[in-house]
Chain A
Amino acid sequence: MELLDNIAKNLEAGEDEKVLELTKAAIQQKLPPQDILDKGLIAGMNVVGERFKNHDIFLPEVLLAAKAMYAGMDELKPLLIEEGIPSIGKVVIGSVQGDLHDIGKNLVGIMLKGAGFEVIDLGSDVSPEKFIDTAEKEEAGVIGMSALLTTTMSVMKQVVELLDGRGLKGKVKIIVGGAPVSADFAKEIGADAYGFDGINAVEKIKGLCGVG
């Protein structure tokens, strides 16, 4: 479908106004909202993610593509809700400690939304209770935590323990990431996964949710 390809291509180029215009046109032509999402917006974002992973593009291009994604999404969202099309999963994300590097966490959020997830971003300096209360209340399937300092990584372990204590272990999965975090560390604290960058985090979260 040419129109949907066009949406994807313009999203890849970060042309937010064009994506908005084309998304409106697709809706006007009564194309199925699910197709506009999957074959237009998400298809474009997947290409962006792949290029980012291969270091062909960098954060600025991803940010522009994300802006374009949101431009189309804002238009499409009411229709998706109307048709009862669920997101592919709900993820609560946050940094356990405030830092300029919450750029990494923000990137994960952008990538997740781009992949079709519903994202609840709790921001920085998030307490273990807040992570778990939110996941429980929102019925999220995954909690994604970012730590930026060696000294704050221990908070991640507290979240895993608290989750266990509330009897939610297994029901809510935990993925961790951030500069000082490693796969070994994730394993040691009992997290379900480790994401080394935004793209990898999305792949792992898809795995945790049993999609894609």
Chain B
Amino acid sequence: MLAETLLARLGRGRPLVSDGAIGTMLIDRGLKAGLAPESFNLENTEALEEIARLYFDVGADIVHTNTFGGSSLKLTSHHLGDRVEDINRNAISAVKSVAPEQGIVSMSCGPTGMILKPYGDADPEAVYESFQQQLAIAVDAGADAVTIETMIDLEEAKLAVKAAKSVSGSIPVLATMTFDDTPKGFYTIMGVSIEKAAQGLGAAGADVVGSNCGNGIETMVKIAREFTKVTDLPLLIQANAGLPELRDGTAVYPETPEFMAEKAEELLEMGVAIIGGCCGTTPQHMRVLRQMVDSRH
């Protein structure tokens, strides 16, 4: 059972390497502006296999599925609400089909894009059911874990964690939120502190907590350090390759693989369990990260 392998492997104290960005690689392969990235799961699963293979080949232990916006509520905004089953199942099959024996396939699960009552209009029950439907497919299609990510509202994140726990008592649940570096400390745009995030996600049943997106590696190191002060749970940290800069009229993510890997050494020193990449990171980033991790363990 690979599902047990993830937590068992984390228990051995050797850090795992996750994958890098998927969205930008889909754009390179023809994803058009305005279309849901998940539309690829219906039309071009070969591209999904190719991307997953690239990440496994450079040594990623965990590769995520192209299902970030795969909840029915999110897909409905792209008029794909009736394709939840195929979109999620195909994405998992694609990554599984190229995963090596020890490769871990984790279903990515992002926000619904709705704001919960009383601040917005979304009913918690509807959001919970939307997550439950998506995450049940993860279990059924044989994903080894689920990664609830880029969350900014703790209540929504907790609904997703609980939904995951409701569909399987054993599937590992990784849950990360996106924090802003404010003069008053790190908070999500909805005002969730790192301490509240760690406690709330942990109490909801997350096996691994942490942060992804929104920041380059240097800020992410600071965020990780805050997490180590407030939780004993294993940490997952996935930084962007910096924040986009304009070069010759096009925006590029500035942090090189070498820069990220060098700074990521601090993550290892503080005992971060899983290190991966988010926006702007490439297989080359993960290759160098893998080499750095191997050279230290």
Contacts and interface: CB of A to CB of B under 8 A. Distances in A.
Interface stretch (B90-98, B135-143, B246-254): B246-254
B110 A59 contact: no
Contacts of A149: 23, 27, 33
Most buried by A among B24, B33, B69: B33
A100 B73 CA distance: 11
B246 A151 contact: no
A60 B111 contact: no
Contact of B34 (A56, A58, A97): A97
Interface string A148-190: 0111111100000000000000000000000110101100100
B251 A100 contact: no
A188 B249 contact: yes
Give the size range of A's interface with the partner: 20 to 34
Contact of B252 (A103, A150, A154): A150
B194 to A, nearest CB: 14
B69 A100 contact: yes
B244 A98 contact: no
Interface in B227-249: 243-246, 249
Contacts of B113: 100, 103
Contact of B119 (A55, A64, A96, A188): A64
A119 B38 CA distance: 32
Give the size range of B's interface with the partner: 20 to 34
B187 to A, nearest CB: 6
A196 B268 CA distance: 33
A103 B244 CA distance: 20
Contacts of A185: 246, 251
Given A97-B33, A98-B34, A180-B251, A151 B189 contact: no
A67 to B, nearest CB: 8
A188 B246 contact: yes
B115 A57 contact: no
Contacts of A60: 119, 190-191
A100 B111 contact: yes
Contacts of B252: 150
Contacts of B34: 97-98, 125
A63 B119 contact: yes
B184 A55 contact: yes
B108 to A, nearest CB: 13
A55 B33 contact: no
Contact of B251 (A55, A96, A153): A153
Nearest to A182: B246
Contacts of B246: 182, 184-185, 188
Contact of B189 (A56, A58, A125, A150): A58
Contacts of B119: 59-60, 63-64
A152 B120 contact: no
Contacts of A153: 251
Contacts of B111: 100
Nearest to B280: A150
B36 to A, nearest CB: 8
Interface string A98-109: 101001000000
Given A151-B27, A155-B33, A180-B244, A98 B77 contact: yes
A189 B166 CA distance: 50
A197 B179 CA distance: 15
B295 interface: no
A151 B78 CA distance: 19
Interface of A: 55-61, 63-64, 96-98, 100, 103, 125, 149-155, 179-180, 182, 184-185, 188
The 6 nearest A-B residue pairs measured at CB: A58-B191, A150-B251, A100-B113, A180-B244, A63-B119, A125-B34
Given A55-B183, A97-B33, A180-B251, 4 more contacts: A98-B34, A100-B113, A151-B27, A184-B246
14 contacts: A58-B187, A59-B119, A59-B189, A59-B190, A59-B191, A60-B190, A60-B191, A64-B118, A100-B69, A103-B113, A103-B115, A153-B251, A180-B243, A185-B246
